């Protein structure tokens, strides 16, 4: 397509002469003889070259022309005129014009300037395109960076030595700015790579690999993550880095564990429940027949049995509810003496019923301990109830005793020693006593109580030490730190589901 | 003379229940809380029928049954398995019946009556 040229010349004949000349060189030329016409032409059409005196009619079109040049970098201005006109145009347009020529116009110079203007225009067009492309690239880069950052996964890019070279925002938030650190160090606090590292596998075969891992964040929290790796190749298709994407599935795992053990529990408990229901049937039968026979001894025995069974079924229901409820640990400072008092309040009635003597030994000013009192009380009650039960099952010794001794040990540990002279445990029972659903009480136990109690102690950063001899008795030493490890800054999690 | 029944179960409440139920229906009853004591009682008492819980601490029901089979005077004594375990009907193949806890007492009495009158 021919280039469009607008000639601005108050001397119409001169303008027409130039037009004829340019038309011969394949330009599409229009002549305007005054400022008003120039402005109309500028408004109605696009132009490649403006040629002539831009200050025609005393410069009334000058600002319109300047605007036109500014709007479109492709438009070139070539000035010609008298010495005076050119001089004024130079003052007004300076570098905005691509050439200045004095009259009379030299035809060779005109053609050269026209060609140069065209080149200028093409170069400008090219630069424009490059700028546009660069802007696009920049936008795309920002866009990808934003995507990378806002993906709700922990993403890291690693080199062959498992050194992290890039991380996204999520990673940074949970594991700190760890660029330059080693993956195994940041994620797992290890000093050497993990076994079966998926990143190493991807470096080896270029395939995507996945694993499930447990990692520890800056806060000390542990996350279950599902990890996928993908190779990053250079232009020669060689793997230079590997991207690792880890999705936090902690909640899913917790829920799954919880559901699994709940299902397991219901399955294993059904036997106990059946026993209890049968015994309840028995109680009701004896009550019925006792009333028929007016056998008062049988009635009162049966009533006692019905009551006991109702209690047991209620307890079991409560234990299930207790277990099923997902409760966060809520630590609060509690005086040790209050804790012991509350626990013993629960124990004394049952102990008295079984003729078991209860003794408590507290040191002077045992101080304060930070615990979740609901969980901790039920844990200690559970240990003590088992001590009372162990005495109730024993028929050898004339006097049965359960004692609770509190001592303050070094390193701010509060220890509770629970001793009984009940039936004691053999080695197998001792080893399994904290296992889920293990019970030595046959149909009378759920296998949940000590399991949960033990988890509560562990959750508080405590330990349980067991010594027991069959037919002699049992000693439990439960040691707790005054301040549990998880209490600072964040709440722990449900001890049975974590 | 009334027929003799030996009840073996680790749950005292259930021993109580079964013993009342059978006594009320005219049987002569003895109880044992585990398999070892059960075997002793069986030798001494020579029951006409034994009810046996499968899931007990110490010696399990099936082991009791194997030992009982080695005693000449006991090996033809009918056994009714009473247990909370599902699938208990296969635990002791030669048992004349397997009853699941909680059981229907009329049903249990009918089985006993059919077996020993």
Binary contact (A281, B24; C-beta < 8 A):
no
Using an 8 Å CB-CB cutoff, list chain A residues near B7: none
Would you say residue A427 has pLDDT above 70?
A: yes
Do residues A49 and A89 both lie within one domain?
A: yes
Using an 8 Å CB-CB cutoff, list chain B residues near A282: 13-14, 16-18, 20-21
User: What is the spatial distance between Cα A83 and Cα A80, in angstroms, rounded to a whole number?
Assistant: 9
| Closest in A289, A309, A443 to B24, CB measured | A289
Position A326 scores a pLDDT of 52
Helices and strands of chain A, counted as H and E runs = 15, 17
The residue with greater pLDDT, A191 or A80, is A80
Binary contact (B102, A281; C-beta < 8 A):
yes
Please check whether residue A136 lies inside any domain of the structure: no
Binary contact (B102, A277; C-beta < 8 A):
yes
* Structural domain ending residue among the three candidates A299, A324, A349: A324
Element containing residue B42 per DSSP (H, E): helix B35-45
Q: Select from A422, A418, A352, A355 the least CA-distant residue to A390.
A: A422
In B, minimum Cα distance to A283 occurs at B17
In A, minimum Cα distance to B20 occurs at A286
Do residues A372 and A400 both lie within one domain?
A: yes
- For chains A and B, what is the number of CB pairs under 8 angstroms? 67
CATH number of domain containing A200: 3.30.450.20
| Closest in B11, B55, B100 to A279, CB measured | B11
User: What is the spatial distance between Cα A184 and Cα A215, in angstroms, rounded to a whole number?
Assistant: 9
User: What is the spatial distance between Cα B88 and Cα A168, in angstroms, rounded to a whole number?
Assistant: 59
CA distance to partner chain A, nearest, from residue B72 (Å): 31
Do residues A216 and A166 both lie within one domain?
A: yes
Position A77 scores a pLDDT of 92
Mean pLDDT by 10 residues, chain B (117 residues): 90 89 94 89 93 73 84 90 70 82 90 91
Position A489 scores a pLDDT of 39
User: What are the structure tokens assigned to A413, written together?
Assistant: 């540990």
Strand pairing report for B4-8 and A473-481? unpaired
User: What are the structure tokens assigned to A220, written together?
Assistant: 């000390």
User: What are the structure tokens assigned to A402, written together?
Assistant: 């359960």
Please check whether residue A137 lies inside any domain of the structure: no
Do residues A347 and A483 both lie within one domain?
A: yes
Domains of chain B: 4-116 (3.40.50.2300)
Q: Does A271 touch chain B (CB under 8 A)?
A: yes
Position B6 scores a pLDDT of 95
User: What is the spatial distance between Cα B20 and Cα A271, in angstroms, rounded to a whole number?
Assistant: 23
Binary contact (A442, B24; C-beta < 8 A):
no
Q: Does A461 touch chain B (CB under 8 A)?
A: no
User: What are the structure tokens assigned to A226, written together?
Assistant: 């599902």
Q: Does A309 touch chain B (CB under 8 A)?
A: yes
- The answer to whether A473 and A390 have CB atoms below 8 angstroms apart is yes
Do residues A291 and A377 both lie within one domain?
A: no
| Closest in B85, B103, B105 to A271, CB measured | B85
Q: pLDDT digits over A113-160, tens only?
A: 988 888 888 888 888 899 999 999 999 989 988 888 888 899 999 999
Please check whether residue A497 lies inside any domain of the structure: no
Binary contact (B17, A283; C-beta < 8 A):
yes
The strand ranges marked E within A410-472 are: 413-420, 463-469
Would you say residue A259 has pLDDT above 80?
A: no
Q: pLDDT digits over A33-69, tens only?
A: 999 999 999 888 889 999 999 998 888 888 889 998 8
The residue with greater pLDDT, A438 or A12, is A12
Binary contact (B16, A271; C-beta < 8 A):
no
Q: pLDDT digits over A362-418, tens only?
A: 998 889 999 988 788 888 988 998 999 899 888 888 999 999 999 998 888 999 999
Do residues A106 and A204 both lie within one domain?
A: no
Please check whether residue A494 lies inside any domain of the structure: no
Cα separations (Å) of A132 from A122, A137, A409, B78?
Answer: 15, 9, 74, 97
Please check whether residue A498 lies inside any domain of the structure: no
| Closest in B24, B101, B105 to A274, CB measured | B101
Position A268 scores a pLDDT of 59
Please check whether residue A144 lies inside any domain of the structure: no
**Preferred mutation among B18, B61, B84 to probe A, highest tally of A CBs within 10 A:** B84
Total count of domains within chain A: 4
| pLDDT category of residue A478 using cuts at 50, 70 and 90 | very high
Query: Measured between alpha carbons, how far apart are the two ends of chain A, in Å?
Result: 76
Please check whether residue A61 lies inside any domain of the structure: yes
Chain B residue set in contact with A, beta carbons under 8 Å: 10-11, 13-14, 16-18, 20-21, 24, 55-57, 84-85, 100-103, 105
Do residues A300 and A338 both lie within one domain?
A: no
Domain that holds residue A27: 4-129
* Structural domain ending residue among the three candidates A224, A248, A272: A248
Do residues A388 and A346 both lie within one domain?
A: yes
Cα separations (Å) of A378 from A261, A304, A323, A375, A402?
Answer: 20, 26, 12, 5, 17
Q: pLDDT digits over A168-186, tens only?
A: 998 998 998 889 999 988 8
Do residues A348 and A472 both lie within one domain?
A: yes
Round the average pLDDT of chain A to a whole number and report it: 86
Do residues A171 and A293 both lie within one domain?
A: no
Count of CB atoms situated within 10 Å of the CB of A6: 23
Using an 8 Å CB-CB cutoff, list chain A residues near B55: 271, 442-443
Q: pLDDT digits over A201-236, tens only?
A: 999 999 999 988 888 888 877 788 899 999 999 989
Q: Does A275 touch chain B (CB under 8 A)?
A: yes
Do residues A362 and A474 both lie within one domain?
A: yes
Cα separations (Å) of A467 from A138, A375, A427, A497?
Answer: 70, 24, 10, 28
| Closest in B10, B18, B84 to A271, CB measured | B84
Binary contact (A279, B14; C-beta < 8 A):
yes
| Closest in B13, B55, B56 to A279, CB measured | B13
Binary contact (A443, B10; C-beta < 8 A):
yes
Helix B35-45 to helix B61-69 angle (10° resolution) is: 30
Q: pLDDT digits over A81-118, tens only?
A: 999 999 999 998 888 898 999 888 888 888 999 888 88
| Closest in A272, A277, A285 to B20, CB measured | A285
Do residues A368 and A433 both lie within one domain?
A: yes
Binary contact (B11, A442; C-beta < 8 A):
yes
Using an 8 Å CB-CB cutoff, list chain B residues near A270: 84
CATH number of domain containing A343: 3.30.565.10
- The answer to whether A380 and A360 have CB atoms below 8 angstroms apart is no
* Structural domain ending residue among the three candidates A307, A324, A341: A324
Q: Does A282 touch chain B (CB under 8 A)?
A: yes
Using an 8 Å CB-CB cutoff, list chain B residues near A305: 13, 16
CA distance to partner chain A, nearest, from residue B64 (Å): 17
User: What are the structure tokens assigned to B7, written together?
Assistant: 């009840």
CA distance to partner chain A, nearest, from residue B78 (Å): 22
Binary contact (A279, B105; C-beta < 8 A):
no
Please check whether residue A493 lies inside any domain of the structure: no
């Amino acid at each position: 397509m021919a280039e469009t040229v607008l000639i601005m010349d108050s001397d119409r004949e001169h303008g027409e002469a130039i037009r004829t000349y340019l038309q011969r060189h394949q330009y599409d030329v229009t002549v305007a003889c005054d400022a008003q016409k120039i402005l109309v032409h500028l408004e109605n059409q696009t132009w490649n070259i403006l040629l002539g005196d831009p200050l025609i009619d005393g410069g009334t079109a000058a600002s319109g022309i300047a605007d036109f040049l500014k709007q479109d970098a492709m438009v070139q201005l070539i000035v010609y005129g008298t010495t005076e006109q050119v001089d004024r145009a130079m003052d007004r347009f300076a570098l905005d014009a691509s050439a200045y020529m004095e009259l009379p116009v030299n035809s060779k110079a005109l053609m050269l300037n026209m060609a140069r203007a065209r080149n200028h225009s093409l170069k400008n067009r090219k630069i424009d395109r490059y700028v546009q492309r660069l802007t696009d690239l920049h936008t795309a880069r920002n866009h990808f960076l934003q995507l990378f950052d806002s993906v709700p996964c922990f993403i890291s890019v690693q080199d062959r030595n498992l050194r992290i070279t890039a991380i996204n925002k999520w990673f940074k938030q949970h594991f700190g700015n760890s660029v330059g650190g080693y993956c195994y160090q940041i994620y797992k606090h290890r000093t050497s790579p993990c076994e079966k590292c998926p990143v190493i596998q991807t470096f080896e075969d270029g395939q995507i690999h996945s694993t499930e891992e447990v990692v520890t964040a800056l806060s000390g929290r542990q996350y279950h993550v599902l990890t996928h790796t993908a190779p990053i190749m250079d232009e020669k298709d060689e793997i230079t880095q590997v991207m690792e994407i880890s999705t936090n599935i902690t909640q899913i795992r917790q829920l799954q564990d919880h559901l699994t053990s709940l299902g397991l529990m219901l399955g294993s408990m059904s036997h106990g429940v059946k026993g209890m229901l049968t015994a309840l049937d028995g109680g009701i039968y004896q009550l019925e027949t006792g009333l028929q026979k007016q056998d008062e001894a049988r009635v009162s025995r049966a009533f006692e049995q019905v009551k006991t069974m109702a209690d047991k079924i209620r307890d079991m229901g409560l234990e299930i509810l207790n277990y099923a409820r997902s409760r966060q640990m809520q630590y609060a400072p509690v005086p040790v003496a209050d804790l012991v008092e509350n626990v013993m309040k629960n124990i004394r009635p049952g102990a008295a019923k079984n003729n078991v003597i209860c003794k408590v030994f507290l040191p002077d000013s045992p101080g304060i301990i930070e615990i979740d009192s609901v969980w901790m009380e039920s844990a200690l009650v559970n240990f003590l109830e088992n001590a009372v039960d162990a005495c109730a099952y024993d028929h050898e010794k004339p006097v049965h005793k359960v004692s609770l001794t509190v001592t303050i040990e070094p390193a701010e540990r509060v220890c509770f020693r629970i001793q009984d002279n009940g039936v004691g445990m053999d080695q197998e029972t001792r080893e399994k006593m904290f296992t889920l659903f293990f019970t030595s009480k046959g149909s009378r136990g759920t296998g949940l109580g000590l399991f949960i109690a033990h988890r509560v102690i562990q959750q508080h950063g405590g330990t349980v030490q067991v010594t027991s001899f069959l037919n002699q008795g049992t000693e439990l030493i439960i040691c707790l730190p005054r301040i549990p490890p998880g209490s600072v800054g964040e709440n722990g999690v449900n001890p049975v589901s974590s | 003379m009334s027929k003799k029944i030996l009840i073996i179960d680790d749950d005292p409440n259930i021993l109580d229940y079964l013993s009342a139920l059978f006594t009320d229906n005219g049987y002569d009853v003895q109880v044992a809380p585990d398999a070892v004591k059960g075997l002793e009682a069986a030798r001494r008492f020579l029951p006409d029928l034994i009810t046996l819980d499968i899931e007990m601490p110490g010696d399990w029901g099936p082991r009791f049954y194997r030992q009982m089979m080695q005693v000449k005077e006991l090996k033809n004594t009918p056994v009714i398995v009473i247990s909370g375990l599902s699938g208990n009907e296969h635990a002791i193949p030669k048992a004349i019946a397997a009853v699941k806890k909680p059981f229907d007492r009329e049903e249990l009495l009918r089985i006993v009556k059919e077996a020993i009158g």
